[in-house]
Structure 1
Amino acid sequence: MNYSEKYYSFIDLEKLKSKYFDDRSLISGNFDKIIVIGIGGSSQGSKAINSFLNEDRVIYFDNLNFYFINKTLNSINLEKTGFIFISKSGATSEILTLFDYLVGELENKINISNHFFTITEIKSSPLHDLSVHKSIGIIEHDKDIGGRFSIFSSASMIPGFMFNEKFVTSFFIGAEEGESGDRMALAVEKAKLITSPVLKNINAILVYGDELIETANWLKQLYAESLGKKGEGFMPVVSQMPQDQHSLMQLYIDGPKNIFFEILSMQYRESNFINLTLNNHRDAMFSTLKQQDLTITPLGKIQEFSEKSISTLGEFFYAKMVEVIQLAEILEIDPFTQDAVEIQKNFLK
């Protein structure tokens, strides 16, 4: 079925916006900080939003890092901190481990029923049932929206705009701009690259502006999990620039010719020497890739983001999800499954 003929709940913007405002009201408490306990798509969307906004009041426990977790707990005012656990299935091993650990560490220090919140499907699962047992508030995770496609759902919107709700309307306005664009040409462009006789199977995402690193990481997951099936897809690699110019540029320019490039760039308001030098390096890299006849997508352009222009970010997220769906149609694969991930889970003890 063609993309335009099918309904996708994760881009039903009016429904998602309405649900977000309803769900947001369920997070009670006057918190100075929020800790998000999620992994992969459960946390990456909101992490990209907060990074773009330079919001440091939202902290992420999105890996099993004992030292970082304890250092953080010892450095914050627990009475002014909320904890949001996110797992669509309610059975994510890492989240259950962190839930158990944090309950054990904190239930004698704070009233966890006032400080802990869970976003998960409303069905029996370890996380759902433990939350009920501990009288922890539960916000429903839409059963039809997977993690990497959840950027406009409450799972990403609540932690993403916890301290910046004034930007929510602009974020959705930007998404509507992405809705109006024709993305098929971009999908066809990538399909030709990864299926042509001169195979391009590595996508180097060059990031100029640290605010966009987590956006690139979101894109990496979207590409890899949605398209890496049945021998199809490509390997996305995130490069923090200009730092990686001093480690990877030699290979990028003169190594194997199976690499194609995307450039994400911040446009800063302040015209200082640091920002000017960053832009100079970006322009020099762009010109180098062009001069060496190396492929830049989309359509040979730099993807630019104005500082604090959250509408641009909303448009980007929407457009990339649509592009991936259309690319999956061309490749005749299902972008919403990730069956190979289950192989590793079978070995967990």
Structure 2
Amino acid sequence: MHVDLGSSLDATPGVSRESLERLDGQVATAHERIETGRDNHEHGYEALNLPSTVDLDAIRTAVAPFDDAAAVLTVGIGGSALGAATFADALAGPNDPDAYFLDNVDPEHVSRLLDALPLDRTVVNVVSRSGTTAETLANFLVVRDAMADADVDWTDRTFVTTGESGNLRSLAEKHDLPSLSVPDGVPGRFSALSTVGLAVAAIQGHDLEAIRAGAADAADGLSGSLFETPAYAYGATTYALAGRGAVTNAVMPYAERLETFAEWFAQLWAESLGKDGLGQTPARALGATDQHSQLQLYRAGPRDKLVTLVRPRDYADRTIPETDLDGLSYLGGSSLGDLLDAEFEATEASLVESGVPAVRVEIDAVDERSLGSLLYEMEAACVLYGELAAVSTFTQPAVEWGKNAARGLLGGGDFEEADAVDERTSLVVE
């Protein structure tokens, strides 16, 4: 990952080189804490050890029975799906099994997807650390029922990724299903580089060693200075800008294949850092599409935003044909890549001209090694931000509150959070 902070230095809000130099001492202290957490395999910090701890052979063994798959359906939610979806959407080729994700319980969407899938050639990956996630298990029960209706033996087409105990583990043992263990000490949103995120990539035939190598390169590059570590440069700068009022971080990839990466980033950033009235709200945009919509707000709206521009340095290009149409001849003979690069540069310049802070993040290419590095470094950036802000990066109490409320409403236990639903004030206009 290559990070250019230049477009954030003289913005409003912005940071200066001098303020970053002062902050660098805090970065060094935070880095020591992170390294201690990694060395001691502490909860959360263990995620940054995944390049050396993930068992790629176990992943290959679990998915080996499904080498005939035409499609892979992951049933999970949040971190149980977004990492795998990021790799699938970024890397999938025309001959790879199609990847689908049931990460919502919208009944119409679930029904449409199951009606469209070739269930006899679909492998189902059910992902839940606890084995009790209501949305995941509900969707799995529906998938299993659809397979039965299609005269497909679900036990021949299913593997699970779960903890050492719980409903899914018991199910796997009862039916002798292939299974993977989620790593200890790794919150779901930090699990993309583990069994949770890599099983789908394995089924699609992607290079797991290259993904791990990219992450390992990033891990080896962590140092105690933001001026030497791209991950820390990004984490420290976003933290500093948030403290100066840039409380929204609009992540804008200039590659269609990285659009899901922005979704993965949004969960990582929001769930990890939104604590105690602090944090930075992630927004998702796509270049050049959203230059024609959201950029208006970024330039001319409230001065509370940072824009993170993401792009690969190398990509397959396509020539624009020559034309004699009035006013369009300048396009002929150039390429779509030239146009996209011009749009990127113009967007960054327009933000600078209007005083809006921007950070440029570039990767070498949208390939396995670069993605492994990108996801690892964004996780490290998030952990650093959490250390600097003194928030509990690896917990999610607000999320747990909502889970308890929903479970109580469905009769899954006696949860006081469910009582708040009946106490809600309403003002109905019909």
Q: Same fold (TM over 0.5)?
A: yes
Q: Distance in 1 between matches of 2:291 and 2:176?
A: 51
Alignment match, 2:213: 173
Structure 2 residue 111 is matched with structure 1 residue 70? yes
Once the two structures are TM-superposed, the CA of residue 319 in structure 1 deviates from its matched residue by 0.9
- State the superposition RMSD in angstroms: 2.0
Runs of 4+ residues deviating >6 angstroms: none
What is the percent sequence identity of the aligned residues? 23
Alignment match, 2:316: 269
Higher mean Cα deviation, 282-291 or 53-62? Answer: 53-62
Q: Write out per-residue CA displacement over residues 128-167 of structure 1, whole angstroms, 9 at most, x where no aligned residue.
A: 33444454333211232111110111111111232223x2
Alignment match, 1:195: 243
Question: What amino acid does structure 1 have at the position aligned with 2:103?
Answer: D
TM-score, normalised with respect to structure 1: 0.91
Which of 90, 105, 111 is 2:153 aligned to? Answer: 111
Once the two structures are TM-superposed, the CA of residue 3 in structure 1 deviates from its matched residue by 0.9
Report the secondary structure of 1:233's partner residue: coil
Q: Distance in 1 between matches of 2:50 and 2:296?
A: 43
Q: Write out per-residue CA displacement over residues 99-133 of structure 1, whole angstroms, 9 at most, x where no aligned residue.
A: 1111222135112111111111011x233334444
Report the secondary structure of 2:355's partner residue: coil
Structure 2 residue 25 is matched with structure 1 residue 10? no
Note the residue ranges of structure 1 that are not aligned, 5 or more in a row: none
Report the secondary structure of 2:160's partner residue: strand
Structure 2 residue 176 is matched with structure 1 residue 145? no
Which of 184, 195, 199 is 2:232 aligned to? Answer: 184
Question: What amino acid does structure 1 have at the position aligned with 2:62?
Answer: L
Once the two structures are TM-superposed, the CA of residue 14 in structure 1 deviates from its matched residue by 5.1
Which of 34, 38, 43 is 2:72 aligned to? Answer: 34
Which of 397, 412, 415 is 1:339 aligned to? Answer: 397
Q: Whose relative contact order is higher, 1 or 2, with alpha carbons under 8 Å and at least 6 apart? A: 2
Once the two structures are TM-superposed, the CA of residue 176 in structure 1 deviates from its matched residue by 1.9
TM-score, normalised with respect to structure 2: 0.74
Question: What amino acid does structure 1 have at the position aligned with 2:112?
Answer: K
Q: Distance in 1 between matches of 2:258 and 2:176?
A: 37
Check 1:70–1:43 CA distance in 2 against 1; reply closer, same or farther (3 A cut): same
Alignment match, 2:373: 315
Maintained 8 Å contact 1:16/1:152: no
Instruction: Give the length in aligned residue pairs.
Output: 340
5 Å matches for 1:199-218? 199-218=245-264
Higher mean Cα deviation, 82-91 or 286-295? Answer: 286-295
Q: Distance in 2 between matches of 1:129 and 1:57?
A: 29
Question: What amino acid does structure 2 have at the position aligned with 1:24?
Answer: R
Once the two structures are TM-superposed, the CA of residue 41 in structure 1 deviates from its matched residue by 0.4
Report the secondary structure of 2:282's partner residue: strand
Maintained 8 Å contact 1:201/1:259: yes
Once the two structures are TM-superposed, the CA of residue 189 in structure 1 deviates from its matched residue by 1.6
Report the secondary structure of 1:293's partner residue: coil
Once the two structures are TM-superposed, the CA of residue 335 in structure 1 deviates from its matched residue by 0.9
Alignment match, 2:289: 243
Q: Write out per-residue CA displacement over residues 267-314 of structure 1, whole angstroms, 9 at most, x where no aligned residue.
A: 4222433333222211110111122222112xxx3424524x221111
